[in-house]
Structure 1
Amino acid sequence: MAAEMKYKILLFFISIFFYHINAFAQINNTDISYILEADQVTQVGENMYEAVGNVVLKAKGLTITAEKVMYNSATTEVQADGNVKIESPEQKLEAGKIVYNLNAETGTAEDIQGFLAPFNYLCAKNMNKTGPTTFTVTDAKISACSGSVPEWSLSMYEGKLNIDGYMQLNHATVNIYDSPFIYVPKFFYPVSSNKKTGFLMPNIGYDETMGAIGNFQYFIAPDINYDFTIGLGLYSERGVQEQFEARYAHSEESKFYFAAEHIKDFGSEADMQSRWRATFKNQYIPVNNLYINLNGDYVSDYLYIRDYDDYSISMFNKKNYQNMFFGELKLKYVNDYIDTQIFYRRDMLYRDTTTGYTQNQLVRMPSIRVNKIVKEIPYVFLEYDLSYDRLVSKNTQYYYTSLNKPKDETEWAMNRFGAYGRLYVPIDAKFLTITPSAYIGYIRWQDSSLPFNFNDYYSPDFGGIYTLNDSTAEKYWGGADLTLTVKEIYKDYGIFRHSIQNNITLSYSPKLKHPTVNTITNYPNLLFNDVTSYQSSISYEFITSLIGKGWNVEFKAEQGYDFMAEKNNVLPLKLKLKASVLGYLTNSTELNYKHTGEFEENEPKIQYFSNTTTLRFFKYFFVTGSYTYNGAVYKNITSNTYNTTAQISSGINIWRIVLQGYYNWSGYNTDMSFNGLIPKSYGGSVLYNAECWSLGLNAEITNSIVNSIDGRYNKNDIKFFLLFSLRGLGDSNIQVFSINQEEPI
């Protein structure tokens, strides 16, 4: 006889005991609980229950809601009808009807639709759940776009789905809105937010020098903490490039990375055909405070990054405009009072010359450094640096006049000892902080393979540079400074807050006339502090800001005077202005200007001005202005030396269409004008951004001077890129075409 129970909640506990014997002979016990909640639950048989009205069933991380549920407590089978919804961390679906076995985690559903992690929309006539994470579907559609008519979708006659991996589509079509676009007999679509093994988005295009291009990569993810990528770069005019990348995370701080590329380049402009690049970035911490690092980025030849940077597999390889590479093995120990490093390091720099190119290398074997900024001493901050380096400087000049690679080589080896210390004591007063500081340094170069032949020099104040014999030289110097930092003064006016800060710095260091290239043959200038700056100056910094609700303005000004300088005593004027209004208008303007006319030996020349304004109003924006100086120290200025680059860029965003353009110059400049600057690159792009896909075209023109084994020539590269992105499948920057124009010099 059926009995009716007027309970709001009926709780079923079904305890299942099972065992599992593994390699360690471990036995696991598991209790599984199901919870059924409804407005009314009625027992209609020995093991059958009917739940009606706002039914909620929870089991194994799955929540089913419906208007009516039939439940068999013996078989754990559930049949749900009426506004059925199924939710779990991986899915949020709606169905007309489902039949589901809670214990086996299998079942069927009709007229199902909803979302799968991380952002996929699925609808199907029928779905069959074959396991905890696996399904089969018929007459189905999947997309990363929302809406009843998604911007793009994949339709299939049948498919297999693993919510922790991929969906296999059989007899599928790619649809643009509701219109079929491409038929695909079989297709694999990722539906998991976790990384999974599979092919990455390929890059296909054409380059006039490289020929037809195809980059294909396969991602392998055996586990969450390590993965690999293997790839092939196919270039019809160059050959086949093998690519490999590996990542492994042993812990939060112990991580390992390696990437390598190689090609037998039968169309190379370099002086070799077997060309490669290796990048590695690794850190291992065997015990607390002890670090072992193996890092590097090396190439086979000086033109490699020009040819293959755009197609690099490495996640760390960026545009290397300096053509500089390195490799190091380092052992490091750190605590509150000491930072000890012992490492072997090789730095390598390639430079173009009028007759070929140079390869400059600096080898430290080993380098030992003990340094730290100690903050644990009461009231005092101590900065110190003790170092020893066995240095070998190698300079090789390669000539392009024949394939035999004629070259000139020079090598300079020495031992270098260095010591540096700084002591500073911040003193807090009511309105300001006073920080006096004093420092001293010493360097000894000895066992030089090339003789030192510069004249001794002693500062009239403190410091000296002198030789002890042909193979040994020394230098010592010191200085002091005093900083007065006036604490922030502010007043709140209700609608905005106004604050003012003032900083004054007094600096003194001895005047040391370092030997110059015009008076000596050999003088060490290989590491930091081999050449030191000098000044006796006072500088003043003023900062004021206005901060309101949704807007702010900040202005900084700094000016100084160097009493010791023989000319150009006035230090660079530095002005900075930043402003933001409700996020629609932002401005950042900087001026850092010192006009010197002629460059002085060993003195940095600062000529910098930049201005960036962004105006956003109903999705419109404009960007104008960018004028920069790279901050390097230049000697023996030639027509090929650039100390200034300038760029003007602008863009506008109207609805979903983005238009952008830029123009870049470089050259030798002393008067803050565009005189002497020549165009280096310019280009523009147009991009259409939809909700879940984008499509665009980018064009770039780059002017350069190239040295090859056949000679020296001007080169203009004109490249066109297709910009394409589909949410869920990834994005691609495909070089579809290029034109190379060459003119011998």
Structure 2
Amino acid sequence: MTLPHLPLAPKSYCLIVCCLVLMGVLPCQIQALPLRAPGNSWHISAEKATYDPSRNLYTAQGEVVLTGETARITADHILYNNLTKDARATGHVTLMSGKDTIHCDAMHLNLETETGTIMNGIIFVEENNFYISGDHIKKTGKNTYSADKASLTSCAGENPDWKITGRDIHVTIEGYGMVKHATLWAGNLPALYTPFMAFPVKNKRQTGLLSPNITHSDRKGIEYEQPLFLALNRSSDATFYVDYMSDRGIKLGAEYRYMQDNNNKGTLFFDYLKDDKIDDGTDATSHYAYDSTPQRTNRNRYWFRMKNDREIFPHWQARLDVDYVSDGDYLHEFKKGYTGLTATDKAFESTFGRDLDDYDDTTRKNQLNIKRAWDRYNLNMDVLWYDNVTARRQNTDDTTLQSLPSITFRGMRQKLGQSPFYFDLNSSYTSFFRQDTTNTLITGQRMDLYPRIYYPFHINGFRLTPSLGGRHTAWYTHDAADINETRNGYSHRELFDINLDLSTVFTRIFSIDNAANQKIRHQITPALAYSFIPHVDQTDIPQFDDIDLIDKENTLTWQLTQRLTSKRQINPSDSNTPAFAYRELAWLKMSQTYYLSGRDEDTQKNFSNILLDLELSPMPHVYLNSDMEWSPYGTGIFSHNSAITVKDDKQNRIRLQYRYSREDPDENEEETESIYTGVNVGLTPRLRGFLEYEKNLYEDETIETTTGIELDRDCWSMKLSYTKTSDDSAMGFLINLKGLGEFGNP
């Protein structure tokens, strides 16, 4: 209990308290007056307490508790000077400040400056769950500590699995810790020494060294990648990378990020390597070449990539994507690591929702997009530049078609006034350009206007939607070459198309478990679509892309969609939780097209291939995805992709995937066929094993194999992996000292 602030002298106050104790009104434990002004006071309670007014000194013994607004000290004995605000605590001392705790034999602390000395103490930082132990630790501020000698660990107990000992240690809570002459101990054995080490003490952004990436591979030798993180301000940061490769040299990298809000953000990366190895065409350097790319003779290698989003005006958004690489081999060699394609692609996808081209794509997309969106309309202005890396490196004619610029204006389907009709609109303007020095390929501009009118209505449970589209396309070309002559000038094309969509829905609900009120809904949606486009002479039309050549069409397409959805009643503990749980058990779609005018004039095959898409989850932890395309004329399957995944709540997972495709079996086109297996399973409660295997079945060649183990302890974890591809093999080793960071190859 806390007594009121009575206007009594200290001696009178003690006399009254003693009388109350003797009378049994108060317990033996007493509590003194507030030691500070109300609103910022300290209180002391103990089995025995005295006050010396001449020195303004409080003396408390036996289960002493000294409490303030944000801190609490317990000890066997405490001396507190109310004038200097100094407190001396001895015997089983515990200081609790926020979420951090200090245990020690003795402590001298100034409660106002929060500085002092800790004797034979242990500091426990809850945020990172680690301990700092030392015989003589100085508390140099509210959140700062220093020690001449100390040890660090995130393991509880007197004999931790690991610890780091060092000298001249400085620790800032909500910041970083610095240690000189640091030694990592595995149990009682010294395992690693470093003259300097920095480690995070909490999760706030802070300038300092990050965990290194260490690996070994056939192509690069021993590799050590060290990042340095710079917290520039609240909305931006930068990271610099030094990547030492014993066989290739030193690769330098930089990353800059900023995020003001969701509409204004950007990330850019740049790497540079003066490579010690080139491909000179001899057997001695063939190990540094790739079969799928031309010979690489350049030593100066680099990769610049960035994504940027900016709100340039209210409701106007600009997006800039840049991907410029020195040679076609670069992304083959540097797929992994801190600044590799995999990590960069993941960062871009997570932040911007836009990824990079594949590592083996030697035509890299660069784009500037400016868009404006209204409720029913949107405007996009694009400048697209496809960088042909191979043509640039080989100094050959680049015939890549560029769009400089492309403008599209679209209107969503909407009602036409008060009438029963609906309409939508697709329109575009594109200027095409090629870096072709021979002047034999087409360049020019194209405008395309494509409105459509819809009239939906219902007939006896069926939804029928006829629609009519009209299309006007105009071109102006420079040095255009058609099948008859080379000419300049203007050309145009007009055509119309008719669509008729018919669909309905059949639904039935089945009761599975009446006790749990569990039901399954089976929904069948058959649909039939007719499409007609008349034949139009297009011999004089320039050919840029699919819009320029629109074939005649007279087709009938059927589609059948089925869904199984379960609904199970649950008993929520609060009213904000839904009363029912829904789960998609199965989804199946099949479709095929019939060509009324004949699909193939030579073979008279009127039916297209049959398409099937399937998603199946018969149990909560089992998922099956499959898509297939096969011929109705007995020529077999064109493509088949299937994957089954089984996982549980403990992160055990097995995934099997099969991929197959071929273009045209009648033309004996080359097939592609591969399998992928991924396994991540707990071998023991602490040990996990993982395996990834991908093989090209058609060429009987292993694409990539990765295997390894992960050991997870209370205060540390370890990962050991081995990866082998057709071009390289690498060994990775990772130690995670929980609370301090990772060392090794992520």
- For normalisation by structure 1, the TM-score amounts to 0.75
Distance 1:625 1:440, change over 3 A: same
The residue that corresponds to 2:738 in the other structure is 727
Segments of structure 1 that go 5 or more residues without pairing to the other structure are 16-31, 397-407, 456-466, 667-673, 704-715, 736-745
Determine if the alignment matches structure 1 residue 572 to structure 2 residue 611: yes
Q: 1:96 aligns with which of 79, 82, 105?
A: 105
Determine if the alignment matches structure 1 residue 479 to structure 2 residue 499: yes
C-alpha distance in 2, partners of 1:91/1:532?
75
The residue that corresponds to 2:721 in the other structure is 698
Determine if the alignment matches structure 1 residue 524 to structure 2 residue 552: no
The residue that corresponds to 2:153 in the other structure is 143
Contact 1:441–1:478 (CA under 8 A) maintained in structure 2:
no
Contact 1:336–1:374 (CA under 8 A) maintained in structure 2:
no
The residue that corresponds to 2:629 in the other structure is 594
The residue that corresponds to 1:614 in the other structure is 646
C-alpha distance in 2, partners of 1:209/1:146?
42
Residue type of the alignment partner of 1:699? Y
Distance 1:530 1:643, change over 3 A: farther
State the SS of the aligned residue for 2:333: helix
Contact 1:433–1:486 (CA under 8 A) maintained in structure 2:
no
State the SS of the aligned residue for 1:306: helix
C-alpha distance in 1, partners of 2:531/2:304?
43
Question: 1:553-591 deviations in whole A, cap 9, x for unaligned?
Answer: 71233223423364334632333321335xxxx222233
Q: How does 1:22-171 map to 2 (within 5 A)?
A: 33-36=40-43, 38=45, 44-46=51-53, 47-49=56-58, 55=65, 57-59=67-69, 61-66=70-75, 69-81=78-90, 83-89=92-98, 91-116=100-125, 117-171=127-181
C-alpha distance in 2, partners of 1:372/1:42?
82
Q: 2:429 aligns with which of 380, 384, 388?
A: 388
Segments of structure 2 that go 5 or more residues without pairing to the other structure are 1-9, 18-29, 280-295, 347-357, 571-580, 600-604
C-alpha distance in 2, partners of 1:371/1:680?
46
State the SS of the aligned residue for 2:477: coil
The residue that corresponds to 1:399 in the other structure is none
Q: 1:276 aligns with which of 302, 307, 321?
A: 302
State the SS of the aligned residue for 1:268: coil
Contact 1:426–1:433 (CA under 8 A) maintained in structure 2:
no
Of all paired residues, the percent bearing the same amino acid is 19
Shift of 1:622: 6.3
C-alpha distance in 2, partners of 1:185/1:529?
69
Residue type of the alignment partner of 1:391? F
Q: 2:386 aligns with which of 344, 347, 361?
A: 347
Shift of 1:472: 4.8
The residue that corresponds to 1:742 in the other structure is none
Q: How does 1:544-583 map to 2 (within 5 A)?
A: 544-546=564-566, 554-564=585-595, 566-569=605-608, 571-581=610-620
Distance 1:35 1:387, change over 3 A: farther
C-alpha distance in 1, partners of 2:457/2:546?
37
The residue that corresponds to 2:328 in the other structure is 302
Contact 1:394–1:411 (CA under 8 A) maintained in structure 2:
no
Shift of 1:626: 0.4
Residue type of the alignment partner of 2:121? I
Task: State which structure, 1 or 2, has the greater radius of gyration over its C-alpha atoms.
Answer: 2
Cα RMSD after superposing both structures: 4.5
State the SS of the aligned residue for 1:302: coil
Residue type of the alignment partner of 1:494? A
Contact 1:10–1:41 (CA under 8 A) maintained in structure 2:
no
Residue type of the alignment partner of 1:415? Q
Q: 1:688 aligns with which of 679, 692, 710?
A: 710
The residue that corresponds to 2:515 in the other structure is 494
Question: 1:401-454 deviations in whole A, cap 9, x for unaligned?
Answer: xxxxxxx9964312122334567799899x989584746363625123354647
Q: 1:291 aligns with which of 314, 317, 323?
A: 317
Question: 1:620-679 deviations in whole A, cap 9, x for unaligned?
Answer: 95625201358x98899887x66544323445430133333343234xxxxxxx6x4532
Contact 1:66–1:82 (CA under 8 A) maintained in structure 2:
yes
Shift of 1:81: 4.5
Distance 1:135 1:422, change over 3 A: farther
The residue that corresponds to 2:344 in the other structure is 316
Contact 2:128–2:740 (CA under 8 A) maintained in structure 1:
no
The residue that corresponds to 1:338 in the other structure is 377
Distance 1:272 1:75, change over 3 A: same
C-alpha distance in 1, partners of 2:147/2:634?
74
C-alpha distance in 2, partners of 1:534/1:361?
34
Range 432-441 or range 284-293, more displaced: 432-441
- For normalisation by structure 2, the TM-score amounts to 0.75
Choose between structure 1 and 2: higher helix proportion: 2
Determine if the alignment matches structure 1 residue 258 to structure 2 residue 248: no
Shift of 1:112: 2.4
Residue type of the alignment partner of 1:100? L
State the SS of the aligned residue for 2:532: coil
Contact 1:443–1:530 (CA under 8 A) maintained in structure 2:
no
Residue type of the alignment partner of 1:104? T
Residue type of the alignment partner of 1:95? C
State the SS of the aligned residue for 1:523: coil
